[in-house]
């Protein structure tokens, strides 16, 4: 049997690709972090398969992408990131303490804390396979002791805060607050090639309200400008993995000019995005606007299941057949079309025909556990699969009606989309031989279409007859007001050089050189 993706695929990446770091500070005042690649190790596939047997708790954390918050963003509990390590990730080495103790970390724009394993991690097996921070060996260590916990899509860590100097290249960030991880309960961290994570997001999502490393780099005057940029080399044949530039941008990394879009909500590097185009045609789902996050800690592209299913249909990806979806089309398809033609409010159709028990104004229900009616305490039924399937069918049918398709063609098309729904783990396989004939997929940012070719959004694992190809699109349903939301990970950032302008609160994209 071939390698299983989903839970296995997440860890498969972790166990197969490692990027080593070289850092330099040139005479132009920029700090460069070079990234290199280590090709996959067949032996590590065995460890990757262990992930599929770890248990339902971790699998549930991979399936569900909850953005937990109390008053906006949480600062005292956790953050939940989408981490789907199925392709290239980017690692580097930093030093913590005096003299520096070296750790390999992910530079992650989708989180905001720095954490490394602690020498006081006694009861978690993963800690024994990674470098551990020893406070007693550092002359600049300062005790903090405040507890901390972070939950990611592929696992969780917990521990306590400490303060020490952090070395990035020749730069020394003084008195940096970071987490000493004393518990890493996931197999994900057992097989991971990295020791910890260095978050480059905003302080608003920093656990414990800790000041991020990047903030201190700016505050302590260590960088030329309050800007950092990513160039990710997606050519798997080349050893060089890319480069992160702190303090500005390197003109050699991009072509033309950057298209800038303002940060719409601080926390993640989030911005407003327009519609998604499939082979140049609008999907219709984000025509009223969606949000997106540029996330260097995510390998793939995640977005509303409704649109991901349309993309998977267009590229011939095969997911798990959803019986609920097909049942909705069979029993209610014609009624939905009739209501759309009668100009009924699209978001209220599913409640009108009795498949949803709310008023249809709260958006797509997928990913929400439950919403309780304050008046009588009854569940609103948002978790119901038929309700979610109905909501997707309405969007698909509405888009087809705009294209003046016949009713028979619409019902057939929606049935086909049901068969393209991603599996519970999010993955969908494609025929490696058909990549050249697949359509482009484009994201509209600041009124401009940013295209991805099939080679750029398909993950290919292995060579020859043993090769497997996976759609780089995975379903992620976040409701309003935070959603609909897209996560543009390394697939997108590899195609487009990305500038994170902290000073002007904007993000820039230009064709990577």
What is 43-78 written as a DSSP string?
Answer: THHHHHHGGGGS-HHHHHHHH------SSSS-SSS-
The pLDDT, as a whole number, for residue 45 is: 33
Whether the bond between 99 and the residue before it is cis, its omega within 30 degrees of 0, is: yes
CA torsion 91-245-199-489 (nearest 10°) is -70
- Residue ranges in the chain whose pLDDT is less than 50: 1-25, 36-87, 360-383
Tens of pLDDT, residues 159-198: 999 999 999 988 999 999 999 999 987 666 776 778 999 9
For residue 94, list its beta bridge partners: 103
pTM for the model: 0.74
| CA dist., res. 269 & res. 86, Å (int) | 22
Q: Give the active site residues.
A: 108, 295
pLDDT at 163: 98
Look at the block and give the residue holding tokens 């020490």: 164
Chain centre distance of CA 412? 32
Under 8 Å between Cβ of 484 and 303: yes
Distance CA 68, CA 80 (A): 7
**Are the C-beta atoms of residues 304 and 65 closer than 8 Å to each other?**
no
Secondary structure (3-state) at 267: coil
DSSP state of 291: E
Instruction: Give yes or no for a contact between 254 and 231, defined as CB atoms under 8 angstroms apart.
Output: yes
Distance CA 479, CA 484 (A): 6
Beta strands 21-25; 31-36: pairing state: antiparallel
CA angle 108, 113, 114 (to 5 degrees): 85
Other C-beta atoms closer than 10 Å to the C-beta of 370 total: 12
Q: Give the dihedral sign, CA 313/7/117/73.
A: positive
Residue found by looking up tokens 């509990």 in the block: 77
Q: Which residues pair with 327 in a beta bridge?
A: none
pLDDT for position 60: 31
């Amino acid at each position: 049997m071939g390698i299983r993706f989903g839970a296995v695929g997440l860890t498969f990446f972790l166990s197969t690709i490692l990027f080593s770091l070289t850092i330099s500070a040139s005479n132009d005042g920029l700090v460069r972090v070079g990234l290199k690649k280590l090709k996959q190790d067949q032996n590590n596939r065995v460890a990757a398969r262990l992930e599929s047997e770890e248990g339902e708790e971790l699998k549930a954390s991979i399936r569900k992408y909850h953005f937990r918050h109390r008053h906006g963003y949480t600062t005292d509990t956790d953050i939940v990131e989408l981490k789907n390590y199925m392709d290239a990730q980017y690692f580097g080495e930093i030093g913590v303490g005096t003299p520096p103790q070296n750790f390999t970390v992910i530079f992650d724009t989708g989180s905001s804390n720095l954490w490394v394993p602690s020498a006081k991690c006694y009861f978690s097996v993963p800690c024994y396979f990674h470098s551990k921070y020893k406070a007693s060996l550092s002359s600049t260590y300062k005790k903090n002791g405040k507890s901390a916990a972070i939950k990611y899509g592929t696992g969780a860590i917990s521990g306590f805060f400490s303060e020490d100097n952090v070395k990035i290249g020749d730069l020394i960030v003084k008195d940096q607050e970071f987490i000493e991880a004393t518990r890493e309960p996931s197999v994900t961290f057992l097989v991971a090639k990295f020791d910890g994570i260095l978050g480059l997001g905003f302080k608003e999502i920093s656990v414990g309200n800790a000041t991020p490393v990047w903030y201190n780099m700016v505050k302590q005057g260590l960088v030329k400008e309050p800007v950092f940029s990513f160039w990710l080399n997606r050519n798997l044949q080349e050893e060089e993995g890319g480069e992160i530039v702190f303090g500005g941008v390197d003109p050699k990394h991009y072509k033309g000019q950057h298209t800038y879009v303002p940060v719409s909500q601080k926390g993640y590097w989030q911005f407003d995005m327009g519609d998604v185009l499939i082979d140049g045609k609008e999907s219709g789902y984000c025509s009223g606007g969606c949000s997106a996050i540029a996330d260097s800690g995510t390998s793939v592209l995640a977005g509303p299941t409704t649109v991901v299913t349309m993309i998977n249909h267009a590229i011939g990806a095969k997911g798990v057949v959803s019986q609920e979806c097909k049942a909705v089309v069979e029993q209610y398809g014609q009624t939905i079309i009739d209501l759309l033609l009668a100009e009924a409010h699209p978001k209220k159709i599913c409640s009108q025909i009795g498949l949803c028990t709310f008023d249809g104004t709260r958006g797509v229900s997928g990913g929400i556990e439950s919403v309780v009616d304050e008046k009588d305490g009854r569940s609103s039924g948002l978790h119901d699969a038929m309700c979610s399937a109905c909501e997707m069918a309405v969007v698909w049918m509405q888009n087809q009606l705009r294209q003046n398709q016949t009713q028979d063609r619409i019902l057939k098309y929606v049935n086909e989309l049901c068969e393209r729904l991603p599996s519970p783990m999010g993955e969908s396989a494609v025929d490696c031989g058909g990549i050249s004939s697949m359509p482009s997929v484009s994201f509209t940012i600041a009124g401009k279409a940013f295209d991805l070719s099939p080679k750029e959004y398909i993950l290919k694992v292995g060579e020859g007859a043993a090769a497997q190809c996976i759609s780089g699109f995975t379903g992620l349903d976040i409701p309003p007001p935070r959603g609909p939301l897209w996560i543009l990970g390394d697939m997108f950032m590899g195609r487009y050089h990305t500038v994170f302008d902290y000073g002007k609160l904007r993000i820039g994209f230009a064709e990577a050189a």
